Amino acid sequence: YLSNEPVVLEDFEDWSPENYDKSNQGGRYSMAAALSKSLNLPTLHLYFQVGHNKLNRLWNDFHFKGTLPDNPSAALGTAEANMVEMARLYSAFANGGNRVEAYYINRILDKEGNVIFEHKPEKPSRIMSEENATVMRQMLERTVKTGTAVSIKSRFGVRREIAGKTGTGQNY
């Protein structure tokens, strides 16, 4: 379980991160509950347990172009990543821990219907264990079933099982 206690980070200009819902502080949460409620404080405490070096290795394994900042705000999503990079990350949870590369064009045909280009996907590469990917996927599914993303299915008429993550911008 992860702490949901407020902290003041003296080594980072006395930064005192908060949960979006400032009234929700204290206690301990499982990783699944913290993720489904989009709690910042347990995420920050997890960052310190895991350490920047391990997170940075995973960041690089996913081929993010930018650098993972060496500060705790990175745990709350301050690192720069584009949509394709984020899709690559989340697709690994759905693909049993395998990283797959996104592509935009599957096939190009000429006016007679002959294939002049066909994308040949790279072999997926294992980036995490299948067990870890399954646990992560289940936690993201919980976010949609009972957490901060619970309204997405009814709001957009989604009828299938989905997984997701909500978050806030810097200026909420």
Give SS3 for 136. helix
CB atoms within 10 A of CB 125: 13
Tens digits of residue pLDDT in 111-123: 999 999 999 988 9
> In whole angstroms, what is the distance from residue 141 CA to residue 61 CA?
24
Say yes or no to pLDDT of 170 above 90.
no
The Cα–Cα gap between 43 and 39 comes to 7
HEC string for 6-66: CCCEHHHCCECCCCCCCCCCCCEECHHHHHHCCCHHHHHHHHHHHCHHHHHHHHHHCCCCC
Taking residues 153-169, report their average pLDDT.
85
pLDDT tens column, 72-131: 999 998 899 999 999 999 999 999 999 998 888 999 999 999 999 999 988 999 999 999
Is residue 172 predicted with pLDDT exceeding 80? no
Residue % of the chain over a pLDDT of 70? 97
Cβ atoms 162, 153 nearer than 8 A: yes
pTM: 0.83
CA distance 36 to 43: 12
- Mean pLDDT of all residues in 139-168: 89
SS3 126: strand
Phi-psi region of 126 (alpha: psi -120 to 50; beta: other; left: phi over 0): beta
